[in-house]
Amino acid sequence: MAYKIILAGFGGQGILFAGKLLAYAAMLDGLQLSWLPSYGPEMRGGTANCHVIISREPIGSPIITNPDALIVMNGPSLDKFEDQLQPGGTVILDSTLVGRPVKRGDVDTVCVAATEIAESLGRKGLANMVMLGAFLKKTGLFPVESFNVAIKKMLGENKQELAEANITAVSAGFNAV
Partner 1 sequence: MSETVLMKGNEALGEAAIRSGCRHFFGYPITPQTELSAYMARKMPKIGGTFLQAESEIAAINMVYGAAAAGVRAMTSSSSPGISLKSEGISYIAAADLPCVIVNIMRGGPGLGGIQPAQSDYFQATRGGGHGDYHLLVLAPNSVQEMACLTADAFNLSEKYRIPAMILGDGTLGQMMEPVDFSALPKPVFAEKPWATNAMGGRRGPNVIKTLYLLPEELEATILEREKKYDFLRENLQRYEARFTEDADIILCSYGITSRVVETAVRELRNEGIKAGIIRPVTLWPFPEKIFKQVRPKAYLSVEMSMGQMVEDVKLACECRVPVYFTGRTGGIIPSPAEVIAKVKEIHREVCAVV
Show the site string, 53-82: x = touches partner 1 by CB under 8 A, - = not: ------xxxxx-x-----------------
Stretch that binds partner 1, among 22-30, 73-81, 111-119, 124-132 (CB under 8 A): 22-30
Of residues 6, 13, 15, 34, which one binds partner 1 by CB under 8 A? 34
Q: Determine, following the binding rule CB under 8 A, whether residue 33 of this chain makes contact with partner 1.
A: yes
The one-letter amino acid code at 65 reads T
Query: Whole-angstrom Cα distance, residue 64 to residue 5?
Result: 8
Which candidate, 173, 112, 127, 135, places its Cα nearest to that of 25? Answer: 135
CB neighbours of residue 94 within 10 Å: 28
Exposure on the CB side of residue 130, measured as CA atoms within 13 A: 28
Closest by Cα among 127, 132, 77 to 102: 77
| Closer of 32 and 171 to partner 1 (Cβ) | 32
43 lies in the site for partner 1, by CB under 8 A: no
Q: In angstroms, what is the minimal distance from the CB of 63 to partner 1?
A: 5
Between 8 and 23, CB nearer to partner 1? 23
Instruction: Please write down the long-range contacts of 155-160, taking CB distance under 8 Å and 24 or more positions apart.
Output: none
Q: For partner 1, which stretch binds (CB under 8 A), given 31-39, 74-82, 101-109, 160-168?
A: 31-39
Task: Find the Cα–Cα–Cα–Cα dihedral 124, 80, 34, 134, rounded to 10°.
Answer: 40
Residues that bind partner 1 (CB under 8 A): 20, 23-24, 27, 32-37, 39-41, 59-63, 65
